Structure 1
Amino acid sequence: MRTKGWATRVAATLLLAVGVVAAPAGPASAAVNVAYNFWTWNVAGAKINAGSTTNGMIGVAARSIVNRDADFAVFNEICQTQFNALIAELRELGYPQDSTNFARFTPATPKGACAPGDAKGPFGNAIFSRYPLDGAQRWTLTSDTTGEIHSLTCVNPTAQPKMHFCGTHITAEQTKDADGNLYSGHQLADVLGQLEAFNNSGHTAVLAGDLNAQPHYGRLNGFYSSSLNVPNNSGNTGAYRELDDNDSGNCLGYGEWTATRPNVNNPTPCGSTLTKIDHIFARQSRIVGSYSGDSLGISTDCAGNAATSEYPAGSCSDHRIVIGSATVSIG
């Protein structure tokens, strides 16, 4: 396990400007290389867990965050009551450096929409951080006309204002605009535009969440780096790497599946009909050295959750937890 102290985890690199006049050269900018562990999970807080805070899902999530030594964690489809319960559980486990300032919630539905017939509040997306946070930045994405609000939320540690960790949940609807373009494509373009804006300002951003798009879909070509050109994932024009895309043991350029949802009409290039729609992206030019990602088996420790044709009884979600590690250059 890596040491959690900030000072011991940062490798600083001083970038010196070369002067063109006979004056002493001075620092042009200071960059730091920081190793982070990332974590993301669509918990199906309403669909499968019915807004419950006592069926085991909260404990499974909190223990995984701590056991995986996650610095940042994104949740999709989490009820606000579950978000509050996770705050309490993570405090109990000693996870945050500042127990009063480490979590942010962004609703996607009106109050009372978490589970039918209850008052558990909205469900939406959440971000947890080991480090104290500045206030979250939020952008509303192009509407898919369903009434659900899709958004991008980004946070940064107070000690590292140029490092942004972002979470989103792209629509799964296949609705299209008047020109026949998927609204999900518009939403992904909105997200990518903000990531690029961070980069153009000299900042570093890492994105995690359920993008409802598989790696070989054309609407992700603008994300994946043009240097990634393999049979399983080609035609890319972007500048980012998904942290599991170097997994040659499962599906090089693609990674492991993350959701139980079958997709027989558009199977993965490696043969599986299960989908990879949960991702962690970092800009390739900001990654220092190697990086890695993985998806974890779905826990069956959530008592009372009924079995379906897609997952067994007790399943805590129909999505896997996705983790990743990378050292990124900031500044």
Structure 2
Amino acid sequence: MKRLRWAAVAAVALLPALASPPAHAARATTSYRAWHWNIAGNTMHHGSTTDGLVAAAVQSIQDNSAVFASLNEVCAQQFTAMINQLRAVDWPVDPANFARFETTIPGRSGGPCGGKDYGIALFSKQPLGPADRFTLPYDGNEPRHLLCAPLKSQPQLRFCTVHATFVDAYRATQLKAIFGHVDDYHADGDQVILAGDFNVGPDWARMDPYYSAQVNTPNNHNNTGHYREVDDADPVYCTGYGETTEEGAGGGGPCGTGGKIDMIFSHEDDYVASASTGDARSSPHSCGGKSCSDHRILVGLLTLGH
């Protein structure tokens, strides 16, 4: 978990700086609500399943009508509790096939999560197909992985989650690997929704090769890539950058109101920007009267053409 001291202000006047994608003939579209949260399941909760964290996550998924959800920094016992509570509220269509977990630190005595596995997780309202699990270049600190799963009934739509390194010397290497795998899916004709804590900001030079060149504002420019982020056209919070995802943010960043390291991406060829949007929701304060995480919850409406 990496806490930044950045921020975001905004100006509607900046909207014209977002380049319009090339005109296309009318095509069918489908919209999906994706939800992402770095829950700090070990550092702030020590693996607890009863301190309000799991209940807060499940309630937020319901409140935001999410059809995809992902967690970073989640303990195995919290993942199991999420499954049980989502089943209890009848969220998944198939209660036996809607969740995937990838271990980044195996359970061990004296380790995180009270000795249980620690990692990343994804959930889907619709049944899932077999997951792909990609190991990222090792940063010398913690094994990192990219976890992706398709819809069983729609195998060319994949939902992925990742928690990238905060070790600066390996940031660029891991980003190249992450987006390389997603590029491979795109080359095969798949559509991908990628959610996670990237431990970099949208305006960082390391993101330029991946962030869509359609986004060119004073807050985020020099981009040469092909991926749009759900909050990059926000007319109120730092256009081109988006709203802070740091809970209790104060100062820093291109606009001055908080850093953004949690993001939800899709390829510009699929992404219909005019019908997509994102919002960072405050962390619930229902965990013993305190904020449940030092990350805010990121929610995106992604409209994809097909």
TM-score, length-scaled by structure 1: 0.81
Distance 1:316 1:161, change over 3 A: same
Cα distance, 1:271 vs. partner? Answer: 1.4
SS at match of 2:171: helix
Asked if the contact 2:58/2:82 (under 8 Å) is kept, the reply is yes
Matched, 1:166 2:153: no
Secondary structure at the residue paired with 1:36? Answer: strand
What is the rounded CA distance, in whole Å, between the counterparts of 1:114 and 1:78 in structure 2? 17
Does the C-alpha gap of structure 1 residues 323 and 117 become closer, same or farther in structure 2, counting only changes over 3 Å? closer
Q: 1:185-244 CA deviation, whole Å, 9 max, x = no partner?
A: 111100110111111111111110000001110111122111211000000000111100
Q: How many pairs were matched up?
A: 279
Distance 1:250 1:113 in 2: 44
**Does the CA-based 8 Å contact 2:47-2:113 persist in structure 1?**
no
Q: Give the 5 Å matches for 1:58-97.
A: 58-97=54-93
Q: Please provide the CA RMSD for this pair.
A: 1.8
Find 1:141's aligned residue among 136, 140, 144. Answer: 136
Equivalence for 1:292: 277
2:127 is the counterpart of 1:132: yes
Structure 1 position 117, deviation (Å): 8.3
Matched residue, 1:57: 53
Aligned to 1:200: 187
2:240 aligns with: 253
- In structure 2, the partner of 1:3 is none
Q: Give yes or no for contact 1:138–1:153 (8 Å, CA) kept in 2.
A: yes
Matching residue's letter, 1:98: D
Q: 1:261 to 1:109 in 2, by over 3 A?
A: farther
Distance 1:130 1:114 in 2: 35
Quick one: distance in 2 between partners of 1:103 and 1:34?
22
Q: Which residue identity does 2:215 align to in structure 1?
A: L
The answer (yes or no) to whether the contact 2:247–2:283 under 8 Å persists in 1 is no
Which 4+ stretches in 1 moved above 6 angstroms?
Answer: 261-264
Moved more, 222-231 or 160-169: 222-231
Counterparts of 1:209 and 1:51, CA distance in 2: 20
The secondary structure found in structure 2 opposite 1:187 is: helix
| Larger-Rg structure | 1
Equivalences for 1:202-221 in 2 at 5 Å?
202-221=189-208
SS in 1 for 2:265: strand
Q: Cα distance 1:110–1:63, how it changes in 2: closer, same or farther (>3 A)?
A: same
2:223 aligned with 1:236 = yes
SS of structure 2 residue aligned to 1:205: strand
TM-score (norm 2): 0.87
Q: Percent identity?
A: 39
> What is residue 118 of structure 1 aligned with on the other side?
114
1:173 CA displacement: 2.1
Q: Where does residue 5 of structure 2 map in the other structure?
A: none
Q: Distance in 2 between matches of 1:113 and 1:94?
A: 35
Gaps of 5+ in 2: 1-26
Structure 2 letter corresponding to 1:144:
D
Per the alignment, residue 35 of structure 1 pairs with: 31
Which one of 97, 100, 119 corresponds to residue 96 of structure 2?
100
Who is 1:278 aligned against? 262
